[in-house]
Amino acid sequence: MHWIDRWCEHWLAWIFPERCVACERHGGSLCKACQQTLEDYDEPPPTLLAVQQATHVAYVYNHTMRQIVHRLKYRRERRVARLAGHLIAQRVPTCLTSASVFVPVPLHATRLASRGFNQAALLASALARLSRGQLLDKLVRQRDTPPQARLGIRERQANVADAFVWQGAPPPTHVILVDDVLTTGATMRACSDALQAAGARSITGLALARSRAPRQPPPHG
């Protein structure tokens, strides 16, 4: 980096010191105090997907993680996606290689149009950049589904069954399916079915966070 760039960066950081994503106080993108409140998700991985596929959940959906997910979901901030990507990399480094292909869980076009972006795609893009892997945003939600939050597990499965389809050239043999929050896994299962139907043979689920049972009301499925 040229010294002028370094100088500008230094002064910009001094004039606009970065505030913590979770508590809004100064101290970096996630301050030390908030970092210490993060809890590793260490419950056995839920059996979610149709065939022999691993599912990784990085963190417990606790207060701090809720702030991070909220920022990721309702504001289009690349630094939050980058932070979330780094947090995942700390917990699940095996998923981040240059051979990794990340596929985000899609939003329906109507919801995408009203919100302007898909938080899972921001996260998948950050992971692809971090690992020098590939982002393939080709999974499409072909019908809109009612929000999952108030539904039970069977209703959720019925709600999202056949809601997704892969578009374009067949996916690679192995892909990593990315979502911000994992609840029952009904959405990931339906996405996984669509990926398999399109030709993927091995799918790894990867989520930033999941509530510990008993579940807090989740933001979506």
Residue type for position 135 = L
Q: Could you say whether residue 65 binds Zn ion (CB under 5 A)? A: no
Choice from 9, 13, 14, 23 touching Zn ion (CB under 5 A): 23
CB 16 to Zn ion: min, Å: 17
Residue closer to Zn ion (CB basis): 68 or 191: 68
Rule CB under 5 A: is residue 22 a binding residue for Zn ion? Answer: yes
Residue 75 Cβ, how far from Zn ion at the closest point, in Å?
16
Q: Which of 17, 34, 84, 113: binder of Zn ion (CB under 5 A)? A: 34
What string of DSSP letters covers 124-181? HHHHHHHHT-EE---EEE-S----STT--HHHHHHHHTT-EEE-SSPPPSEEEEEEEE
- Only segment of 5-13, 24-32, 69-77, 168-176 that touches Zn ion (CB under 5 A): 24-32
Q: Which residues, other chains included, contact 209 with Cβ-Cβ below 8 Å and sequence gap of 6+?
A: 41, 57, 58, 59, 60, 61, 65, 69, 180, 181, 182
Interface residue with Zn ion, options 8, 10, 19, 20 (CB under 5 A): 20
Q: Which stretch binds Zn ion (CB under 5 A): 34-42, 67-75, 102-110, 158-166?
A: 34-42
Interaction between residue 48 and Zn ion (CB under 5 A): no
Rule CB under 5 A: say whether 207 interacts with Zn ion. no
Q: Which stretch binds Zn ion (CB under 5 A): 28-36, 96-104, 125-133, 151-159?
A: 28-36
Name the residue among 84, 44, 51, 72 with its Cα closest to residue 204: 51
Separation between Cα atoms, residue 93 and residue 91, nearest integer Å: 6
> Is 31 among the residues that bind Zn ion (CB under 5 A)?
yes
Q: Does 175 engage in binding with Zn ion (CB under 5 A)?
A: no
Query: In sequence order, what are the residues at sequence separation of 6 or more whose Cβ sits closer than 8 angstroms to the Cβ of residue 13?
Result: none
Total of chain residues touching Zn ion, rule CB under 5 A: 5
Tell the smallest beta-carbon distance from residue 10 to Zn ion (Å). Answer: 23
In whole angstroms, give the CA distance from residue 212 to residue 62.
8
- Beta carbon of residue 31, minimum distance to Zn ion (angstroms, whole number): 3
Q: Which of 148, 176, 181 is nearest to 69 (CA)?
A: 181
Pick from 148, 196, 192: which is nearest to 173 by CA?
A: 196
Asked if residue 209 lies in contact with residue 58, where contact means CB atoms within 8 angstroms, the answer is yes
Q: Quick check: 83 binds Zn ion (CB under 5 A)?
A: no
Residues of this chain that bind Zn ion (CB under 5 A): 20, 22-23, 31, 34
